Amino acid sequence: MSCGAFAGKNEIMASRLIIVFLCLLGVGLASCRTKPEADLRILTYDSLRADGAIGGVLFAEFQRRCQCRVHVQSAGDAGQIVARFALDKSRKRQLPHVLLGIDQNLFRSVQSDAIEIFELPSLIAPQTKIDPRFVPFDFGYFSFIADLPAMTSKKLAIPQSYSDLLRAELKSQFILQDPRTSSPGLGFLQSIQGAFGKSSLQFLTQLRGRWLTMPSGWDEAYGLFLKGEAPLVWSYTTSQAYHDSSSESKGRYKALMFKEGQGLQIEGAIAVRSAMSSIHEQKLTKMFFDLLLSPEIQKEIPLRQWMYPARTDVELPLEFKALPTPTKILYSPDFESELAVKQWSEAVLK
Amino acid sequence: MVRSRFEINIARVSLVAVTAYFTFGLIIPIFSVGFQFESAAQFWETLTSTSTLSALKVTWLQSTVSTLGSLFLGILGAVLLYKLKIKSALFDWLLSIPYTIPTVVAAFTWVLILSKTGPLGFLNINYSLIAVIAAHMALNTPLVTLSLHQAMSSCPMDEIESAQSLCPNGFSVLLRYWLPRLRSSLIFVASQVFSLCATSFIIVMVLGGGPPIETLETGIFTRIRFGDPQWSGAAALALWQLILCVAPALLIFRKYRPRRLESLRAQHQIKKPAFLLALLIISPFILIYLLPYFSKSFLQLKFLSPELLTIFWLSMIDSLAAALVSCSLAGLATLLIYASALKYNQAHKVLILLAQMPAGISTLILCLGVWFSYGSWIDPFEGRVLMIGLIQSVLMLPFIIRSLSSNVYGARLQAIEEARSLGASFLFSVRTIIWPQFRRTILYVFTVSAGVSFSEIAAVSFFSAENFTPLPLLMSRFLSQYRFAEAEFIGLSLLVIAVFISSLQFWIGKRA
């Protein structure tokens, strides 16, 4: 057989290989298909859409009212909403119209992308109004939660202030969250800065290594606390309400009010300026914010989000009425989270 | 050897294809990590910042201590098995199991064992560097023992007897006979263990207890996970990790290539007491991972609840999809690398070197690189199985290349032409000529790839989405929802899968 005949057969084989390759490429590209267009795109965090969370009621009701196509995307936790938004922006991808579930600290990272299209109702709690572009829908106070039987069995006195965390007996008895990867973790830094002012860095240096563990998120930290790893965990005062709502854990967990005061977290939403390409989209976004702050959605907030509703005229459940109220709120709009994290890193990671 | 035109064409196509694979899967992503700095000043400042250097220090310290500890215990184990005259495939298989255990399962097991209420809680070492080192040593010691025991067992008995008779004492035998013969294996396995410890992610994250214990790997994670990502900070850590792991790995690979280990079969009757003693020593390294499954909450779990089973099977399908893509890509890449040797010897050596590189690269760095490079085209948040498969396939190449036999070099592709000249179809020729030659190799590559893919969590965390949750990710999600018993169920499933795959891999490896 001539060499040419070989070449012919090789060409046939090569063409078959190319067909196989193209098929594989097709499968790959098919998996990269784009999503159908939606009238309103919302980016939020996973747990807001979980079973029993506010997302289920909110999005269903909004779709019913607006008769439009809503595309809700989840991005892990609140911090990942901003991470994803930043990445999509740098990649010049289609941006969501609404970022839902960012707190006041994360808002600082995206405030230049936010647009004011909605006037906050007068019945919104005044401490949640931080910027006209930020639409608050719930808030909560940070606090340590104590497992009372565990504290008793270890003969530990309940701490009354942040300084008490330096007591020798409380070494490795509390769990915090990493401020670089968790909103409550950052809330701890904010509270410390509010409590100690300029000497906060000195306090953080003294506190270094005194916690048992510092997981990356609130979920992991609280899971370890419930597993009995430590009798104290940094969380929200409303965690007490959550436990009190169950007959099994009623009265066991207590939110601790410190004499210096408590940090504040405000959860909100923003409308994304560059995503608003038409009046229609702005109207839909405004309609969504209207619903978010409506009494029917706000009354669902306490027992679904386990946070205080932003509206002051909402009747709170009994578990919330029994919660202790902070003597002082350690929140300053001037709190610079990046600087605080940088200083904390230098104090802790050395 | 004179190659036919057909073989030359195959080599040419393979070289182009595999070069493209490495370019897109490895080179571009790694370089893109290095281009995240705005200026030289920022590059230097980030590279030498306090937190970066602290992460470097912790990584180096824990990797070095873990490696030395694993070597110490591993050498003891190997010597013990050698003294007991254990040459059994069963022991090789048992020693290979811990290596295949998913790190998420290992981390979960250790955190339970060392927890306040766990069996080793009294040690009070949970959430510390000691816990991280202990877990790394427990995972890597069997690997060291296996490698060294195989190397020791492959030394001819008459040589050993001569050395013993010529050397004045045991120390002299060790120094003059054993050390030169085991040096390559020792350095090779040490580099492998060091890389594994330096790139360890979830074990450090969970057992280390977070700050101040931060390694380069966990540092990358914290810098990109929350809020506005700090790309330059992550890139600085990635560069340090590349320096720490890749350069020594490549140097060692070039200088000390371990001899191919012989298949070990029982050559003589093993005495029962020796066999039982060896089993007693090895078993804790394996049985420890079963401890969580004796908890009360786990035993009370309703395994057959439709909800759990549905979630499990959906997750299993996702894991299988990822494994299928990564196995196919890794298999194809391996064959192409070897096919390139039909003509291009020098290029083939470079390809082999490139295939070794990922041994020192962490999954997070590769994910980060792929994210930087292709994020504009492929949405990293939409559960891209193709991206996960590409990353996993690149990561598993070093294991495949190191463990493959050289029989693939001897493959006779020319026979296809001869068969076709006699009228056989191309598919028939492939089925009857190529498949028998490569069958074992392909199966082996598939089992290695499947093992890595099923247990890998970093790539799936990076590119997963709501509707794409492979098993390791499902386990970590259950853990974050306090569904510990369900997490244990997924952990046990992963453990069973790992043992099954390692057994299959071992069996195929023996026969290949």
pLDDT tens track for A149-160:
999 999 999 999
On the question of pLDDT at A25 being above 90, the answer is no
How far is A243 from A229, CA to CA, in rounded Å?
18
Closest CA to A143 of A213, A242, A247: A242
A178–B227 C-beta distance less than 8 A: no
What is the Cα B395 distance to its own chain's centre?
A: 8
Q: Is any Cβ of chain B less than 8 angstroms from the Cβ of A336? A: no
User: What ipTM was assigned to the predicted interfaces of this complex?
Assistant: 0.77
Residue found under tokens 């409590």: A195
φ, ψ of residue A230 in degrees (nearest 5): -150, 150
Residue B200: name the closest of B63, B368, B24, B326 by CA.
Answer: B63
Judge: A32–B378 Cβ closer than 8 Å, yes or no.
yes
Chains A, B: CB contacts within 8 A come to 129
Task: Give the list of residues 6+ apart from residue B333 with CB closer than 8 angstroms, or none.
Answer: B18, B21, B355, B393, B397
User: Is residue B228 less than 8 Å (CB to CB) from chain A?
Assistant: yes
Whether the Cβ atoms of residue B29 and residue B189 lie closer than 8 Å to each other: no
Contact between A91 and B6 using a beta-carbon 8 Å cutoff:
no
Pick from B55, B227, B378: CB nearest A79: B227
Of B209, B211, B226, the CB nearest to A348: B211
Residue B380 touches chain A, beta carbons under 8 Å: yes
- pTM for the structure as a whole: 0.81
CB contact under 8 A, A91 and B376: yes
Distance from CA of A346 to the nearest CA of B (A): 7
**Distances in Å between the alpha carbon of A337 and those of A99, A131, B201?**
19, 17, 26
The verdict on whether omega for the bond into residue A184 sits within 30 degrees of 0, i.e. cis, is: no
A89 contact B CB<8A: no
Q: What is the pLDDT of residues B118-163, one digit of tens each?
A: 888 888 898 999 999 999 999 999 989 988 888 888 888 788 888 8
- In chain B, which residues have their Cβ closer than 8 Å to the Cβ of A74? 466
Test A182 with B212 for CB contact under 8 angstroms. no
Backbone φ and ψ for A136, nearest 5 degrees, come out as -75, 140
Low-confidence ranges of chain B (pLDDT < 50): 258-268
DSSP three-state, residue A72:
strand
Distance from CA of A297 to the nearest CA of B (A): 25
CB contact under 8 A, B209 and A16: no
Q: Where are the alpha helices (DSSP H) in chain A?
A: 3-30, 54-66, 78-90, 104-110, 148-153, 183-196, 200-207, 218-226, 238-244, 279-292, 295-298, 301-305, 318-321, 337-348
Q: A208 to chain B, minimum CA–CA distance in Å?
A: 8
Contact B210 A213 (CB under 8 A): yes
Q: Which residue has the higher pLDDT, A170 or B225?
A: A170
CA distance linking residue A157 with residue A172, whole number of Å: 14
Among A265, A253, A263, CA closest to A319: A253
How many residues are there in chain B?
512
Question: Look-up: residue for tokens 């970590």?
Answer: B476
Are residues B479 and A220, on separate chains, in Cβ contact within 8 Å? yes
Q: Please name the amino acid found at residue A81.
A: I
Give the chain B residue nearest A229 (alpha carbons).
B116
Percentage of chain A surpassing pLDDT 90?
Answer: 59
Q: What is the CA radius of gyration of chain A?
A: 25
Q: Is residue A253 pLDDT above 70, yes or no?
A: yes
Alpha carbon of A121: minimum distance to chain B alpha carbons (Å) = 28
CB interface of B with A, residues 57-116, below 8 Å: 115-116
Chain A residues with CB-CB distance to B221 below 8 A:
181, 216
B4, B222, B379: residue with CB nearest A180: B222
Q: What is the pLDDT of residue A3?
A: 41
What is the structure's pLDDT at B33?
76
Residue ranges of B 181-210 with Cβ closer than 8 A to chain A: 205, 209-210
Q: State residue B414's pLDDT score.
A: 65
Provide the greatest CA pair distance for chain B: 75
d(CA A308, CA A288): 20
Q: What is the dihedral of CA A43, A46, A48, A50, to 10 degrees?
A: 130
* Cα–Cα dist B394/B192, whole Å: 16
Q: Judge: B381–A75 Cβ closer than 8 Å, yes or no.
A: yes
CA distances from B427 to A12, B420, B430, B431 (A): 12, 10, 5, 6
Distance CA B474, CA B461 (A): 10
Name the band, by pLDDT with cuts 50, 70 and 90, for residue A5: very low
In angstroms, what separates the C-alpha of B119 from chain A's closest C-alpha?
14
- Coil, strand, or helix at residue A260? coil
pLDDT attached to residue B252: 64
User: Is residue A16 within 8 angstroms of chain B, CB to CB?
Assistant: yes
